[in-house]
Amino acid sequence: MSETQGEPSGPDLTLGVAADSLADGQMLAGHVGDDAVLVARHGSEYFAIGATCTHYGGPLAEGLIVGDTVRCPWHHACFSLRTGEALRAPALNPLGCWPTELRDGNVFVRAKRSAARVVAMTSPASPRNMVVVGGGAAGFAAAEMLRRRAFDGSIVMLSDDAAPPVDRPNLSKDYLAGNAPEEWVPLRDEHFYSDQRIDLRLNTTVAGIDAAARTVSLGDGSNIPFDRLLLATGAEAIRLPLPGMDLPHVHTLRTLADCSAIIAQAGRSKRAVVMGASFIGLEVAASLRARGIDVHVVAPDKQPMARVLGPAMGAFVRGLHEEHGVVFHLEDSAVAIDARQVTLKSGGTIAADLVVAGVGVRPRLALAEKAGLAIDRGVRVNEYLESSAPGIYAAGDIARWPDRRSGAIRVEHWVVAQRQGQTAALNMLGGREKFDAVPFFWSQHYDVPINYVGHAESWDEIVVDGDIESRDCVVRYKQKGRVLAVASIYRDSDSLMEEAAMERELA
Ligand X SMILES: Cc1cc2nc3c(=O)[nH]c(=O)nc-3n(C[C@H](O)[C@H](O)[C@H](O)COP(=O)(O)OP(=O)(O)OC[C@H]3O[C@@H](n4cnc5c(N)ncnc54)[C@H](O)[C@@H]3O)c2cc1C
Binding site for ligand FES (CB under 6 A): 53, 55-58, 72, 74-75, 77, 90-91
Least distance in angstroms from the C-beta of 230 to ligand X: 10
Least distance in angstroms from the C-beta of 234 to ligand X: 2
The residue count for binding ligand X (CB under 6 A) is: 36
Kindly tell me which residue out of 171, 200, 230, 485 binds ligand X, with binding defined by CB under 6 A. 171
DSSP state of 412: -
Q: What are residue 96's phi and psi, to 5 degrees?
A: -60, 155
Task: Tell me the C-alpha to C-alpha distance, in Å, between residue 496 and each of 65, 253, 295.
Answer: 9, 30, 34
The pairing of strands 97-98 and 86-88 is unpaired
Quick check: 455 binds ligand X (CB under 6 A)? no
Quick check: 137 binds ligand X (CB under 6 A)? yes
Assess contact for 473 and 491: CB atoms under 8 A: yes
Closer residue to ligand FES, CB minimum distance, 238 or 500: 500
Angle, nearest 10°, between helix axes 306-323 and 279-290? Answer: 10
Binds 90: which of ligand X, ligand FES, none (CB < 5-8 Å by kind): ligand FES
Closer residue to ligand X, CB minimum distance, 30 or 164: 164
Quick check: 425 binds ligand X (CB under 6 A)? no
Closer residue to ligand X, CB minimum distance, 412 or 433: 412
Binds 232: which of ligand FES, ligand X, none (CB < 5-8 Å by kind): ligand X
Quick check: 456 binds ligand X (CB under 6 A)? no
Closest CA to 71 of 375, 449, 498, 444: 498
Closer residue to ligand X, CB minimum distance, 206 or 474: 206
Sign of CA dihedral 375, 381, 382, 383: negative
Site string for ligand X, 195-234 (x = CB under 6 A): ----------xx-------------------------xxx
Please give the Cα distance from 132 to 209 (Å, whole number). Answer: 12
Quick check: 397 binds ligand X (CB under 6 A)? yes
Kindly tell me which residue out of 254, 271, 380, 445 binds ligand X, with binding defined by CB under 6 A. 254
Judged by DSSP in three states, 174 sits in helix
Angle, nearest 10°, between helix axes 414-428 and 137-148? Answer: 40
Least distance in angstroms from the C-beta of 270 to ligand X: 23
Quick check: 158 binds ligand X (CB under 6 A)? yes
Closest CA to 167 of 146, 141, 191, 142: 141
Give the interface segment with ligand X, choosing from 120-128, 136-144, 429-437, 492-500 (CB under 6 A): 136-144
Least distance in angstroms from the C-beta of 332 to ligand X: 24
Judged by DSSP in three states, 175 sits in helix
Least distance in angstroms from the C-beta of 229 to ligand FES: 29
| Rg, C-alpha atoms of the chain | 24
Least distance in angstroms from the C-beta of 83 to ligand FES: 17
**What string of DSSP letters covers 75-97?**
T--EEETTT--EEETT--SPPPE
Least distance in angstroms from the C-beta of 331 to ligand X: 25
Please give the Cα distance from 170 to 416 (Å, whole number). Answer: 16
Amino acid at 53: C
Judged by DSSP in three states, 424 sits in helix
Closer residue to ligand FES, CB minimum distance, 78 or 288: 78
Least distance in angstroms from the C-beta of 284 to ligand FES: 21
Least distance in angstroms from the C-beta of 179 to ligand X: 15
Binds 138: which of ligand FES, ligand X, none (CB < 5-8 Å by kind): ligand X
Least distance in angstroms from the C-beta of 451 to ligand FES: 10
Closer residue to ligand FES, CB minimum distance, 400 or 445: 445
Please give the Cα distance from 309 to 484 (Å, whole number). Answer: 12
Kindly tell me which residue out of 50, 58, 63, 169 binds ligand X, with binding defined by CB under 6 A. 169
Closer residue to ligand FES, CB minimum distance, 80 or 233: 80
How many degrees, rounded to 5, is the angle at CA 256 between CA 447 and CA 386?
95
Taking the CA atoms of residue 311, residue 313, residue 316 and residue 322 in that order, the dihedral angle to the nearest 10 degrees is: -80
Q: What are residue 143's phi and psi, to 5 degrees?
A: -60, -40
Name the closest residue to ligand X (Cβ): 136
Give the interface segment with ligand X, choosing from 153-161, 238-246, 334-342, 480-488 (CB under 6 A): 153-161
Assess contact for 317 and 309: CB atoms under 8 A: yes
Long-range interactions of 85-89: CB distance < 8 A, separation 24+: 85/116, 85/117, 85/119, 86/54, 88/419, 88/422, 88/437, 89/137, 89/141, 89/415, 89/418, 89/419, 89/421, 89/422
Closer residue to ligand X, CB minimum distance, 237 or 242: 237
Binds 16: which of ligand FES, ligand X, none (CB < 5-8 Å by kind): none
Quick check: 51 binds ligand X (CB under 6 A)? no
Quick check: 187 binds ligand X (CB under 6 A)? no
Kindly tell me which residue out of 15, 40, 253, 381 binds ligand X, with binding defined by CB under 6 A. 253
Exposed/middle/buried for residue 225 (C-beta within 10 Å: 0-12, 13-18, 19+): middle
Query: 331 pairs with which residues across the strands?
Result: none
Residues binding ligand X (CB under 6 A)? 133-139, 158-161, 168-169, 171-172, 205-206, 232-235, 253-254, 280, 364, 367, 396-397, 412-415, 417, 441-443
